[in-house]
Amino acid sequence: MIPLKRRKVVPTGAGNTGSEETSPNKFPQVVLFLLERKMGASRRAFLSQLGRKKGFQVEELFSEGITHVICENNSGDEVIAWLESQVRGRGRATAHLLDVSWFTESMRAGRPVEILDRHQLQQQQIREVEVVVFSAPSYACQRRTTLDNHNAILTDALSLLAENAELSGEDGRGVAFRRAAGVLKGLPEPVTAVTQLVGLPCLGGHSLRVVKDILENGASCEVEDTKQSERFKVLKVLTGIFGVGVKTAERWIQEGIRGLQQLQDSGRTLNRAQQAGLQHYEDLNQHVTRSEADAVAAVVEEAVASVLPGARMTLIGGFRRGKLTGHDVDFLITHPEEGREVGLMPKVVSWLESQGFLLYQKTTKNSYLEGEDGPARPSSNMDRFERCFSIFKLTEEVNGEGLKPWRAVRVDLVVSPISQFAFALLGWTGSKLFERELRRWAGHKKAMSLSSHALYDNTQRRYLRASSEEEIFAHLGLEYIPPSERNA
């Protein structure tokens, strides 16, 4: 190591100074910039000083006056993406993109050597071809998003940051990350450069930095740090207990509880849902397969038909959108004759209990009232249908998997009057972001209020009736999007 007091510091723009470390600029038509990416700061500083000694002008900062960009271990695509991000909105960068071999040969020759094919970065010949720039509507309810996600590595990263924000009580940041992920999910091709995302909605600076980090380095430091965060891991475990929300988990953490065994050993009093959630934790945190969902559906359908012939039952949620696995199974139940559904839920629950299918259940009554002055603002985002939150005992005889005698599965039953069925079907199909954006579109663009119960026109001061999802989309002035394309 050279002692610090003897080390010379090369100031910015040293190529234009008269320092003893710098020779006069011998080649005014050549302005060099050494890209630090993958080269490293120390090697870049050494090579920059060497170039100045040889009479070359070497700039510390990139500008449009640069004629030669010197790179090491970078592909042409990587450097083009970096350059485009530097000159955004100011035209296209026109510098030569060269491997460090051109620089070292020029240093040996004491002059700029001829640029040969071997000096140019790989794929430099297609540099002038325009990168495909994606476009997308602002609202997720305007976009068709299938399960064919071409950018899973990017959307998984943003979704994890969204989850971390939500677990930290920062719902606004969580929504921002989920909207950004939703846009990327809908793109028709993989993203290869951040320049393709210029002008896309919902992609803020934070999300773009994460995307850029992954595209350039294969991973995001922020995402990897989040995965390793002790607090994040503990919150994931505790909120993975059925019936435990973020606030409860935070309180337990403050009291020193870090895992399931500590919670069991603490002697803490748990409510019925939490007791069931802790008892069946392993099962409830495994994905439910489509075949298991179909097995549950067969049982629920038998129960509904037994207590109210003619009633209709529909599998909703992610499975209706075409997903092959899910966290739970949801069903929407109605009857073609308005009012016949009243009293149905207790009978269905009683039938399931008598057959030994329910490990836990909690039923809530319908509290929705349609007001003359429009719908009252609900106390929460949850709808007010008659519902049964349950943990279902799926036996080997029913599911046919043969892995063990039975497993616990989360099942939600929702009963809707036929007059509200189309709205309930739309609201309960999801995805969560798609539904959030539908409500946002209704309010911001159409001056309407949309819920899983009804659609109210605030300008005309009247309810807009619908007997199908297609009619609701038409009321909102939107092109109908089928369930399989609502996976925002």
The CATH number assigned to the domain holding 82 equals 3.40.50.10190
Phi, psi of 169 (to 5 degrees): 80, 15
List CB contacts of 407: < 8 A, sequence separation 6 or more.
283, 286, 292, 394, 399
Question: 83, 104, 126: which is the final residue of a domain?
Answer: 126
Eight-class DSSP state of 132: P
Asked whether residue 132 is assigned to any structural domain, the reply reads no
* Angstrom distance (rounded) from CA 1 to CA 12: 23
| CATH number of domain containing 267 | 1.10.150.20
156 catalytic per annotation: no
Give the CB-side neighbour count of residue 176, counting CA atoms within 13 A.
13
Tell me the sheet residues that pair with 393.
Answer: 408
Asked whether residue 82 is assigned to any structural domain, the reply reads yes
Same domain for 396 and 311 = yes
Q: Select which of 77, 283, 328, 383 is catalytic.
A: 328
Q: Is the pLDDT higher at 377 or at 293?
A: 293
Same domain for 27 and 110 = yes
The per-residue pLDDT for 12 is 40
Encode burial over 41-59: b for 16+ CB neighbours within 10 A, e otherwise: eeebbebbbebbebbbbbb
- Residue 420, pLDDT > 70, answer yes
Strands 406-415 and 329-334: parallel
* Residue range of the domain that includes 455: 420-488
Asked whether residue 100 is assigned to any structural domain, the reply reads yes
Using alpha carbons, select from 478, 449, 479 the residue that is nearest to residue 464: 449
Q: What is the mean pLDDT of the chain?
A: 89
Same domain for 175 and 291 = no
Asked whether residue 5 is assigned to any structural domain, the reply reads no
Same domain for 458 and 405 = no
Same domain for 349 and 336 = yes
- Residue 324, pLDDT > 80, answer yes
Asked whether residue 1 is assigned to any structural domain, the reply reads no
Same domain for 98 and 36 = yes
Orientation angle between helical segments 205-217 and 76-86, nearest 10 degrees: 160
Q: Which amino acid is at 312?
A: R
Q: Is the pLDDT higher at 457 or at 382?
A: 457
Same domain for 293 and 265 = no
As a dihedral over the C-alpha atoms of residue 413, residue 296, residue 148, residue 180, rounded to 10 degrees, the angle is: 30
Asked whether residue 3 is assigned to any structural domain, the reply reads no
- Residue 222, pLDDT > 60, answer yes
Please tell me the total count of domains within the chain: 5
The per-residue pLDDT for 22 is 67
| CATH number of domain containing 307 | 3.30.460.10
Orientation angle between helical segments 432-446 and 421-429, nearest 10 degrees: 120
Local confidence band at 371 (pLDDT 50, 70, 90 cut-offs) = confident
Q: Select which of 77, 213, 330, 383 is catalytic.
A: 330
What is the pTM for the complete model shown? Answer: 0.73
Same domain for 412 and 295 = yes
Same domain for 264 and 197 = no
Local confidence band at 401 (pLDDT 50, 70, 90 cut-offs) = low
29-88, pLDDT tens digit by residue? 999 999 988 888 888 999 999 999 999 999 998 888 899 999 988 888 788 878 777 765
Local confidence band at 397 (pLDDT 50, 70, 90 cut-offs) = low
**What would you measure as the largest C-alpha separation in the chain, in angstroms?**
96
Least confident of 90-99, 235-244, 254-263, 335-344: 90-99
Least confident of 66-80, 214-228, 418-432: 66-80
Same domain for 486 and 434 = yes
- Do 161 and 122 meet the contact criterion of CB atoms below 8 Å apart? no
Q: What percent of the residues of the chain are helix, what percent strand, and what percent coil, each to the nearest 5?
A: 45, 15, 40
* Angstrom distance (rounded) from CA 482 to CA 446: 21
330 catalytic per annotation: yes
Phi, psi of 326 (to 5 degrees): -160, 175
- Residue 396, pLDDT > 90, answer no
The per-residue pLDDT for 399 is 59
List CB contacts of 342: < 8 A, sequence separation 6 or more.
none
